[in-house]
Amino acid sequence: MADIQPFAALRPRPELAAQICELPYDVMSSEEARALAAHNPLSFLHVSKPEIDLPPGTDPYASMVYARGRENFQRLIQQTALVPDPAPAYHLYRQVMGHHAQTGIVAVASCEAYLAGAIKKHELTRVDKEDDRVRHLEALDAQTGPAFLLYRAEPALEDLVAQATARPPEIDFVAADGVRHSSWTLRDAALNEAVRAAFERLPTLYIADGHHRTAAAARVSRQRRGAGGSAHFLAVIFAHTQLQILPYHRVLADLNGLTPNELLVRLAGVWRVVPDAPPQPLRQSTLGLYLAGRWYGLESQPAPTTAARPVQNLDVSRLQHEIIAPIFGIADPRTSPRLGFVGGIRGTGELERLIDRGDYACAFSLFPTSVEDLMSIADAGEIMPPKSTWFEPKLRDGMFCHRLEGAS
């Protein structure tokens, strides 16, 4: 059991939410954040990426950066731009991006359940990134960006969500990127109890995104022995049927000493090469290749058989083990400076731009990993290759905050 609880959230005043709430800290560079937050003192980027308030070139992991983040967070509270809820409750958070809509339940989840495996992961974390989130969390004494969790769709929960969202939302705004964000508070005690009971019946939750945030929260919980609100971490939890996964593409800095023609010959010995294919693969077991100003399709040759381990069937796994490692000589995709990753939200046009201007030598586009694959791999205790999934739309930092000292 994952132990999902209501909590007394710290939230933006509705009329200020559009100015405050921002994309997650880890989907943009410091320079991009500095430009986005320019002329907006309420932007949560001053909290989540506080190096933007210090001279350019400041080490984002310097102690002064975390201290500035705390100062900026406290200022938003003192100005009542962020306001505490009077009592613990669940919230609902809906995002609408084009024709896609998803509504999740905002709650706090048990750190011990995560450590015990009731909240399953599918990615490895890096110690340096965990350390950064631990220091940020400790400096703020709060969790300000939620983990993105999912559960196998449960009709009882879906009915509760539909019932609660039938009324107008409390917060409702359209962000600069066109994504609409809306939220509701479940103030009825019976409804809150029904949500808690429905989660209690679920044996497993899965981390979709936010592995480092979750791991950092668990570390702080252990350090504090669960004191205050540290025993739980902030999360938005979605039914698996609602989620949209985009692909995570690869770019290669060089051709490992091969000419473009030699690379195509090597690839043809592994996958069938199809000239002038669409930039975005249309099905699994196909890849796109952008090389020397031209798109090629790569089709599995022969057709893949069911592997003993589900992770082996993923296109990102096959790309790594059949192409990137043997042909490009990159054995560890987590550490190689010759391999880059481009989130699907940027589109295949971004791959063309990076190659055409000479930043990289070639690019591989992929078909998205499915939610079902993610859950199967997590259930099997397997770990996906790095950057296997890009969930969209992204949850906004600052939309909900979970304070630890004395929090519920």
CATH number at 374 reads: 3.30.1760.10
Over residues 309-338, the mean pLDDT reads 93
| 381 is a domain residue | yes
Q: Which amino acid is at 40?
A: N
The whole-number pLDDT of residue 111 equals: 97
- Label residue 302 by pLDDT band (50, 70, 90): low
Q: Are 288 and 295 in contact (CB under 8 A)?
A: yes
Average pLDDT of the chain to the nearest whole number: 94
| 408 is a domain residue | no
The whole-number pLDDT of residue 39 equals: 93
Verify that 237 and 107 share a domain, yes or no. yes
Verify that 194 and 260 share a domain, yes or no. no
Helix residue spans in 141-236 (DSSP H): 155-164, 189-200, 211-224
| 340 is a domain residue | yes
Q: How far apart are CA 293 and CA 354, in angstroms?
A: 11
Q: Number of structural domains, the chain? A: 2
Which pLDDT tens digit goes with each residue over 345-370? 889 999 999 999 999 999 999 999 99
The whole-number pLDDT of residue 408 equals: 38
Q: How far apart are CA 194 and CA 162, in angstroms?
A: 13
Q: How far apart are CA 60 and CA 95, in angstroms?
A: 30
Over residues 84-100, the mean pLDDT reads 96
Verify that 182 and 104 share a domain, yes or no. yes
Q: Does residue 202 surpass a pLDDT of 70?
A: yes
Q: How far apart are CA 176 and CA 45, in angstroms?
A: 14
Verify that 237 and 250 share a domain, yes or no. no
Q: How far apart are CA 137 and CA 50, in angstroms?
A: 13
**Domain coverage including residue 330:** 246-388
pTM, rounded to two decimals: 0.90
Q: Are 26 and 5 in contact (CB under 8 A)?
A: no
The whole-number pLDDT of residue 312 equals: 87
The whole-number pLDDT of residue 308 equals: 61
Question: CA-based angle 374:380:384, to the nearest 5?
Answer: 45
Verify that 290 and 338 share a domain, yes or no. yes
Over residues 219-239, the mean pLDDT reads 96
**Residue closest to 149 by CA, chosen among 62, 101, 208:** 208
Q: 100-110 and 10-12: which strand pairing?
A: unpaired
The whole-number pLDDT of residue 405 equals: 82
Over residues 210-225, the mean pLDDT reads 96
Which pLDDT tens digit goes with each residue over 41-59? 999 999 999 999 999 999 9
| 16 is a domain residue | yes
> Tokens in use for 167?
């009324």
Verify that 156 and 261 share a domain, yes or no. no
Verify that 90 and 234 share a domain, yes or no. yes
Q: Are 366 and 320 in contact (CB under 8 A)?
A: no
| 88 is a domain residue | yes
- Label residue 20 by pLDDT band (50, 70, 90): very high
Verify that 218 and 358 share a domain, yes or no. no
| 306 is a domain residue | yes
- Label residue 334 by pLDDT band (50, 70, 90): confident
| 29 is a domain residue | yes
Verify that 212 and 320 share a domain, yes or no. no
- Label residue 306 by pLDDT band (50, 70, 90): low
Verify that 257 and 307 share a domain, yes or no. yes
Verify that 277 and 212 share a domain, yes or no. no
| 104 is a domain residue | yes
Verify that 322 and 347 share a domain, yes or no. yes
| Percentage of residues in the chain having pLDDT higher than 90 | 90
